Amino acid sequence: MKNQSLWKRWAFTALGSFVFGIGIGICDLAMLGTDPFTVLLVGLVKQFGFTIGIMNTAVSLLMILFTFCTERSMVSPVTFAAMFAASAGIDAVRLPGITVQEMWARILLLGVGVFLYAFGCAAAIVPEAGYDAYNGFLISLQKLTSHSYRRVRWTVEIVFLVGGRLLGGVIGIGTLACFGFVGPLVELFRIPLAKRLRPLFEEKA
């Protein structure tokens, strides 16, 4: 039963990461700007010439290393699997040839993308089976500083925004939307999700 409960936690973390990736992909499809982390990645790509995927892997591994050194219980094989699940979610909506020109449709896509972005983040956090690289990094900082998730996320994303912009990343209205709403929405979703899903993850005799 213990292994079954663990696999459920891992599967739900990967599913949350997949939804998170879909949210990022939809925000990108809206062409109104992306989340602060992607702004940083784009800036790094412009400076060092690697692909976004390679840079994302490098930065994610640094985050995983930090989390392992501070809260190693939050790192597991699912931490690495979540990276691939998120990438699959992004690729699921970033189909070639699809563009949206109407501004009202792009704004609508942005809203849907931010919602799924935050919901996926919350869903990936709730099982506590080993977080994805980014959320593991944020939660470990939250525990170290005793600040709220919202404050920690906003602080980290300000650093990413400033650093990414200085390196050549692009900031748009979508970036501001992700920065302003994802943190509060994650906190809003986490508690009800935890209450509903806790029985699913509890071990049965």
When pLDDT is cut at 50, 70 and 90, the band that residue 159 belongs to is very high
pLDDT band at 83 (very low <50, low <70, confident <90, very high): confident
pLDDT at 205: 42
Helix (H/G/I), strand (E/B), else coil: 198? helix
- Please state which of the ranges 23-32, 81-90, 144-153, 193-202 shows the lowest mean pLDDT: 193-202
pTM value is 0.75
As a whole number of angstroms, the distance between CA 147 and CA 76 comes to 24
pLDDT at 2 over 60: no
For residue 157, CA distances in Å to 97, 120, 146, 164, 183 come to 31, 18, 18, 10, 10
Mean pLDDT of 57-82: 85
Of the candidates 94, 84, 93, the one whose C-alpha atom is nearest the C-alpha of residue 133 is 84
pLDDT at 70 over 70: yes
The whole-angstrom distance between residue 167's C-alpha and the CA centroid of its chain comes to 21
SS3 label, residue 82: helix
Task: Give the model's pLDDT for residue 1.
Answer: 44
Highest mean pLDDT among 21-30, 142-151, 152-161: 152-161
Q: Please state, in angstroms and rounded to a whole number, the distance separating the CA atoms of residues 163 and 67.
A: 21
pLDDT band at 3 (very low <50, low <70, confident <90, very high): low
Range with lowest mean pLDDT among 17-21, 60-64, 93-97, 180-184 = 93-97
DSSP-H helix ranges across 94-132: 103-125
